Amino acid sequence: MAGERRPRGEYTVGRERRSGILQTALREFAEHGYHGTSLNRIADRAGISEAGLRHHFANKDALLVAVLEQRDASSERLPDGQEPLVGVADLEHHIAIVEGNTATIELARLFTVLTAEATTRDHPAASWAVDRYRSIRASIEQGIRGGIASGEFRDDVDAARVARQIIAIMDGLQLQWLLDPEAVDMAADFREYTAELLTRLRGE
């Protein structure tokens, strides 16, 4: 982290350029998927030439991965030094996430489209998607286990299975909402699901 310094201005300009490209690329990948997006188009909309864009990202795969990893880093990190949420608090936290997603439709579409694309052969986001889902499953499973340990939930609850179910509901409702926003209120539906789940987790 130490070492020679460079004029601050250079860094700032470089980072802003890079970050602007990532922002534009996110929108394009979300609107057209990986194969449907061209570097030329991203470059145009970011106000740079295609060759200029390539100075920052060697190829299309690298740009996609950079977009996805940046979003993971910014959305899935807990505030510094905070204990992981467990039990009811974790479920309520997921309600807040779903409510937040209704306000960022572009980001929601990015994840929906690219995760589904990533189930196909040789997709550049394949390992990103698999790892991400394993990590999310483990995290929610821990939240459920924490609820069992604290006595909030029954001790015969299958935490791993409940975790898969929560994720499935979130993704499935989001898909229906993206297809037909007027017909599906995903936040309301998820809130209802959570209430039902809670009844079940707390026992008869």
Partner DNA sequence: GTCTATATAGCGATAGAC
Partner DNA sequence: GTCTATCGCTATATAGAC
Four-residue CA torsion sign, 14, 20, 26, 32: negative
Cβ neighbours around 160 below 10 Å, total: 14
CB of 3 to a second copy, least distance (A): 41
What is the total residue count of the chain? 204
**Six token digits for residue 184:** 């599906």
CB of 12 to DNA, least distance (A): 10
**Out of 45, 97, 109, 142, which residue is the one contacting a second copy (CB under 8 A)?**
109
Residues in 30-89 that interact with DNA by CB under 7 A: 37-41, 48-52, 54-56, 58-61
CB of 10 to DNA, least distance (A): 6
Which stretch in 11-19, 96-104, 115-123, 156-164 sits in contact with DNA by CB under 7 A? Answer: 11-19
Find the farthest-apart pair of alpha carbons in the chain and give their distance in angstroms, rounded: 65
Residue with tokens 């459920």: 144
Please tell me whether residue 117 binds a second copy under the rule CB under 8 A. Answer: yes
Contact 165, 148 (CB under 8 A): no
Residue of 24, 23, 65, 56 lying closest to 41 (CA atoms)? 24
Which residue's CB is nearer to DNA, number 38 or number 75?
38
Which stretch in 26-34, 66-74, 81-89, 142-150 sits in contact with a second copy by CB under 8 A? Answer: 26-34
Which residue's CB is nearer to a second copy, number 28 or number 90?
28
CB of 6 to DNA, least distance (A): 9
CA pair distance 80, 104, nearest whole angstrom: 24
Alpha helices (runs of H) in 35-104, residue ranges in sequence order: 39-45, 50-56, 60-75, 87-103
Residues that bind a second copy (CB under 8 A): 30-36, 109, 112-113, 115-121, 129-130, 133-134, 137, 161, 164-165, 167-173, 175-176, 178-180, 183-184, 189, 192-193, 196, 200
